[in-house]
Structure formats: structure tokens, C-alpha cells
Structure 1
Amino acid sequence: MARTNAQDRLRRMDLLGAELKQEGHCTVRDLARAHGVSTRTIARDLALMREQGLPIDADRGRGGGVRMDRRWGVGRMNLSYPEAVDLLISIAVAERMESPLFLANLGSVRRQLVASFSPEKRDRVNRLKSRVVIGVTASTYVQAGVSAPPKRVVQALHQAFVDQEVLEIRYRREDGAVSERRIEPHYLLLKYPVWYVVAVDHLRQAPRTFRCDRMIAASRTGDPFRLLPKPAFRSAMEGDDLAL
């Protein structure tokens, strides 16, 4: 029983830290009600969290509240900001796909991740999420030909997408022909299990969709591009315009 109580307390303290950072200001009574424990228990938890070095401030007097410095990092998870962003977007993709397995705790994980960001970084993550689109599941014919793209291609594409940077690629079409392209990776489209880049193709001077697993090579150019709204790519996405 003692071990269970200790585990419950550790879990509650993790959630308290996330809530204090996300909400900015709340009372001990509100926290006690939300977690189903006494105000004395919450006060002890907060005292222990302060001893562990968490920057928790409290307002004295009736109606006073507690808060945590929003600049405080991810904490015990030890995730870098790019890692946390990747995980958060992956969680959003999983939730939108409505898989029946392993989704029970994703909401809690997502809230803790969001709470670890400053307001400015939170806005940036939301903008990135809006650029990831979920479409219909790929046909069995398409799925039969899917392969994993090279790791270097994935890394270059990932960074160019995040930084809104023009990407140079070598692309192999379905008929086997290979071409050199300069593309602007505006959106990513998932037709499970196939990922596509929805881009402006400089060769055609028009929106095009490229399968990620057909990219043989990719390199960043350092040239920025201005993001265009999704309606400009509606035909390229074939109507599967379902943003996260």
C-alpha cells in the first residue's frame, strides 16, 4: 500500500507541475478538488516540489494562488525542444487517426508536453500542427509498394519543413524516371501508411505532391519561403484537407 501511495503521489506531483505551468495561476483548493485529495495533501506536495527545485510561487492571504515560472523546462523527461515538438505532433497524428489502442493516456502526455512550452513556442507548435494533414488510408495497391525513405532524406525534409526552407531533392517517379527538383515543403499529408510532401514545385511553378519514400536524396538550401494557405493546394491534396 505504501508503494502505491508513493507512486500516486509522484504521479500527482508530475500533473501538478504541468497544470501550474499551463494554467499560470490556480488555488490550492482548486488543485485539491481536481485531484480528489485534501488541501493539506496538496500543500505537502507543493512543499516537496519546491524542495526539489521547482520554481513555485504562492500569493499569501485568502484567495491566494500558486503558479510556476513558465520558462521552466520539460523537467524530468529530459527532452529537447525539437524532440518534444516531434512527440507532440506524433501524438496529434495518432489521436486524429483514432486508433483504438494505446490512446488512453495520450491526452495527459499531450497536456504535459504543451505545459512545458513557453506561450511563444506553444503558438509555433500549433502552427506546425496545422501544416500536418490527415487524408484517407492509402489503397492496398499503394501500400504494397511503400518503403522507408533514407534517414538523411527524412532529416533534411523534417528540418526544411519546420524552418520553411526550400529543399532540393532527387525524385523517382512511379515509372522509374529520376529528376532533380527544388520544392517548398508547405504541408505534410499522411494517407496511412504513406507520407507525402505537399509543395510548390519550382520546376513546374505549381503545387505538387511528392511521396516521401520516392525521394532518393534531399538537401537544404537555406532559402526561405512564405507559407501559402491550404486552399492553394486543395487540388494537390485531392480534397483530403483535414488539418490536425
Structure 2
Amino acid sequence: MSRANTTRHLDRLEQLTAILKSEDALTTKRIAAELNISERTLFRDIGLLRERGLPIEADKGRGGGIKLHRNWGVGRLSLENQEVIDLLISLAISESMGQTLFMGNIQRVRNKLMASFSPKQKEKIHQLRQRIHIGAQASPETLSSFHHQHEANTVKANPTIEKIHNAFMFHQRLRIVYKDFHDKETQRDIEAHYLYLGFPIWYLLAWDHLRNDVRIFRYDRIIKAEIKPQEFTVRPLEDFSAILTQQDVKTL
């Protein structure tokens, strides 16, 4: 199947999923007509969605309808790596702020979400949780030099952040251009071992091959990033203890 055909097929599956979520039972004839496909193709697509975990019911017989199971809700989540890490970060921030108006039962929310993950996703989440940390809010002095516009960009709109996250998750070395406090730019080869949030500023706790030592890098000061083929093994958190003891750190 060509890339164009694959894209069209994925788009059609998304349309079918949206139809099933937004309507009561519909006949296969009506759904096939809306998607401009044959009923045979429709049943193949339904089979694929079922394999993905969507609980689709089909009433047998002429005029039978197709619908989602009446108890369908969140169900088993299908999350990409980036979505998993974004969800964890959001939960961690909420937890670090304590009891809030809408998230007073956040521990129960976390438990319910965890119950929705597949075993493979749970293992990925466990690994990521050990590598993401929340600390105290940034000081006024630190905030005065914070480039908020850069940090506020979404991952999709900021390819540099996307590369950092991918290298972090898949244990690959990064070559970055970094601007220090004096606006001096240097090129560094680093290993992104841990993420750290001193709200609202994100940092990388990394091994710096230029300095041959551990270093901390602010996200908003990373000008460019390039993923290198070399992989690394995550260093123990104790290697970064000198950095972490400077803040009140909370593990995710």
C-alpha cells in the first residue's frame, strides 16, 4: 500500500471512529454510504478498530445496526510516547500543587488512568516516572531571564523541543547549541538523562561530553538540537545529587 493510500485509510478509520462515537446504532449501509466505501470494506475497517480495542457491537440480520458498547468510556488508551510523557508531566504538576479545586482526587484519577494502560505502556510509564522530577518554583531572579515565548511553544510547533524529548525517551545522544547566561553560544554533545521542572522552567539533567561531567541545561536556552546515532545507558540519579540537592525535588 502506497503512503498516500495508507494516509487515506488512516483518515477513514478516524472518520469511522468519530461516527461511532457521536451516533447511536447506524446501519452498515448508511455508514458505508457516508464514507463512500463498500459494506465489505466497512466490515474490514470495523475489524481493524476492534483489534485496536474499540468495543464495537453489530446487530445481526437485515437492517442491523453498528454501535459502540453501551458501557464504552475511556477504555484501553492507545497513547504515543509523547502523549504518555505529556500526561505524566501534567499529573505531576497538579500533584505538586496539592489539593486544587478540580483535582482533589488526583490520586484516584492517576489510578484509573493507569488501569487503562496496556502492560507495555505501564512499563514505559514506570521508566519515565523515574526520570522526571518536580522542584520548587523558579526564583524571581531566574524568571527575569526566562524566555517564556520559547518555552510556551508546543512540541509540534517547535522541532527543537521534539528532538530533545525523542532523544530523552529513546536514550540517544544530542548535539545542541546552547546559549549561557552571558548569551555566549557553545556546541555541546550531551546525554539527556533526567527532566526537571522548577516551574515554569524546564531543565535537562545531562552528561556533558564537552565538560566530561554532569550539567544542567535550561530548555529555553537550547537554540538548536540534533539527534545523534549514539545511544546511552541512563546514569543513576545519585550522579546528579549535587544538582538536585539545591532544590526541593519531588519524583513523579
Class of the TM-score when normalised by the shorter of the 2 chains: 0.5 to 0.7
Structure 1, gaps ≥5 residues long: 1-48, 57-71
Residues 81, 115 of structure 1: alpha-carbon distance in 2 compared, 3 angstrom cutoff: farther
Q: 1:164 to 1:124 in 2, by over 3 A?
A: same
Range moving further from structure 2, 83-92 or 101-110: 101-110
Separation of aligned partners in 2, 1:192 and 1:234: 19
In the alignment, which of 234, 242, 250 is matched to residue 242 of structure 1? 250
Q: Deviations over 1:157-206 (max 9, x none)?
A: 11111111111100000011100001101011111111110000000010
Change (3 A) 1:119 1:135: same
TM-score by length of 2: 0.63
User: What displacement does 1:80 show?
Assistant: 4.2
Shift of 1:140: 0.5
Picking from 73, 76, 91, the partner of 2:76 is: 73
Q: 1:138 to 1:125 in 2, by over 3 A?
A: same
Instruction: With the length of structure 1 as denominator, give the TM-score of the two structures.
Output: 0.65
Given that 2:84 and 2:125 are in contact with CA atoms closer than 8 Å, whether structure 1 keeps it comes out as: no
User: Residues 208 and 121 of structure 1: is their aligned pair in 2 closer, same or farther, counting only changes over 3 Å?
Assistant: same
1:212 and 2:215 equivalent? no
Query: Equivalent residue for 1:142?
Result: 142
Separation in structure 2 between the aligned mates of residue 197 and residue 220 of structure 1, nearest angstrom: 15
Tell me which amino acid in the other structure corresponds to 1:102: F
Alignment deviations for residues 29-65 of structure 1 (CA, whole Å, 9 cap, x no partner)? xxxxxxxxxxxxxxxxxxxx784666x9xxxxxxxxx
Deviation at 1:105, TM superposition (A): 5.4
CA distance in 2, matches of 1:90, 1:126: 15
Please say if residues 207 and 214 of structure 2, whose CA atoms lie closer than 8 Å, have aligned partners that are also in contact. Answer: yes
Counterpart amino acid of residue 183 in structure 1 = I
Deviation at 1:146, TM superposition (A): 1.1
Name the % identity.
Answer: 34
Is contact 1:88-1:113 (8 Å) kept?
no
Q: 1:72-111 residue pairs with structure 2 within 5 A?
A: 73-74=76-77, 79-80=79-80, 82-98=82-98, 100-104=100-104, 106-111=106-111
Counterpart secondary structure, 2:227 = strand
Q: Cα distance 1:99–1:191, how it changes in 2: closer, same or farther (>3 A)?
A: farther
Partners in 2 of 1:83 and 1:109 — Cα distance? 17
Aligned mates of 1:234, 1:92 — CA distance in 2: 20
> Judging changes above 3 Å, is the alpha-carbon distance between structure 1 residues 228 and 141 closer, same or farther for their aligned structure 2 residues?
same
CA RMSD of aligned residues (A): 2.8
Distance in 1 (alpha carbons) for counterparts of 2:182 and 2:203: 18
Q: Secondary structure at the match of 1:100?
A: coil
Match in the other structure for 1:179: 186
C-alpha distance in 2 between matches for 1:80 and 1:231: 30
- 2: CA distance between counterparts of 1:204 and 1:81? 30
Secondary structure, in 3 states, of the residue corresponding to 1:235? helix
Greater than 2 Å deviation, 4+ residue runs: 49-54, 78-82, 96-102, 104-113, 236-242
Structure 1 pair 141–166 and aligned structure 2 pair: CA distance change class (3 A): same
Distance 1:196 1:99 in 2: 25
Distance 1:117 1:181, change over 3 A: same
Number of corresponding residues: 179
Per-residue Cα deviation, 1:136-167 (whole angstroms, up to 9, x for no partner)? 21110111221224612211111111111111
Q: How far apart are 1:231 and its partner, in Å?
A: 0.8
Kept after mapping to 2: 8 A contact 1:198/1:237: no
Q: Where does residue 225 of structure 1 map in the other structure?
A: 232
- More deviation in 94-103 or 186-195? 94-103
